[in-house]
């Protein structure tokens, strides 16, 4: 009988351990997902490079200069009292060169709010070649009541961008930050 109890305990112990491990695995999928998104550009998560690191991008080839159209899109998440739009709708750029544009945002409410923008690039395969050296999305933006501001974005497209892509859309969604402490 005690043999049987021992073997029951062994099975229960192992299966309980498996249960706990799989619960942990559910949470482990969170960082794992970020890593996979970084590698594949899934969900349009864009790269961020320091100004110094631009040197490491491959040089534009000597072949005919290539032009890529970058379109800018802005949207506001539900519940946010903001005006939010790009200052230009699109730009024609050459991969490997640094460009700057800006987005305009205005707080339409009469209270102070903290906003946060999240970027997304489509097509997803272009996301990893789209690098921003400076972006208002890197930090939270604090708005006084009814204040407005122009917010700069500096970006560079990696010349390794696949040749079949001639149009890239950069989209920002503006949220009221979950953390309203300034």
In the complex, what is the shortest distance from the CB of residue 17 to another protein, in angstroms, rounded to a whole number? 10
Q: Give min distance, CB of 99 to another protein, in A.
A: 25
The smaller minimum CB distance to another protein, of residues 19 and 148, is found at 19
| Nearer of residues 11 and 52 to another protein, judged by Cβ | 11
Closer residue to another protein (CB): 30 or 63: 30
How far apart CA 118 and CA 8 sit, in angstroms, is 52
Length of the chain: 182
Question: Smallest distance from the beta carbon of 63 to another protein, in angstroms?
Answer: 26
Q: Which residue has the tokens 């739009």?
A: 85
Our CB check for another protein shows the closer of 26 and 92 to be 26
Strands 130-135 and 47-48: parallel
From the number of C-beta atoms within 10 Å of its C-beta (0-12, 13-18, 19+), residue 142 rates as middle
Q: What is the per-residue burial (b if ≥16 Cβ within 10 Å, else e) of 103-123? A: bebebbeeeebbbbbebbbbe
Residue 82 CB, shortest distance to another protein, in Å, is 13
Closer CB to another protein, 24 or 60, in the complex: 24
Min dist. Cβ of residue 14 to another protein (A): 9
Binding site for another protein (CB under 8 A): 4, 7-8, 11-12, 15-16, 18-20, 22-27, 29-30, 33, 37, 40-43, 77, 116, 118, 124-125, 173, 175-179
Distance between CA 82 and CA 117 in Å, rounded?
A: 12
């Amino acid at each position: 009988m005690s043999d049987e109890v021992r073997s029951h305990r062994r099975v229960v112990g192992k299966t309980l351990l498996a249960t706990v491990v799989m619960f942990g695995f559910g949470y482990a999928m969170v960082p794992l997902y970020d890593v996979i998104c970084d590698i594949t550009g899934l969900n349009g998560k864009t790269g961020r490079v320091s100004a110094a690191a631009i040197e490491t991008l491959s040089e534009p080839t000597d072949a005919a200069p290539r032009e890529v159209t970058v379109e800018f899109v802005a949207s506001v998440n539900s519940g946010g009292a903001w005006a939010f739009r790009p200052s230009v709708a699109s730009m024609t750029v050459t991969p490997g060169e640094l460009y700057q544009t800006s987005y305009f945002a205005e707080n339409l409410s009469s209270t102070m709010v903290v906003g946060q923008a999240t970027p997304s690039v489509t097509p997803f395969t272009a996301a990893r070649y789209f690098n921003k050296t400076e972006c208002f999305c890197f930090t939270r933006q604090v708005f006084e009541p009814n204040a407005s501001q122009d917010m700069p974005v500096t970006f560079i497209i990696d010349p390794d961008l696949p040749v079949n892509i001639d149009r890239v859309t950069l989209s920002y969604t503006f949220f009221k930050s979950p953390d309203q402490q300034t």
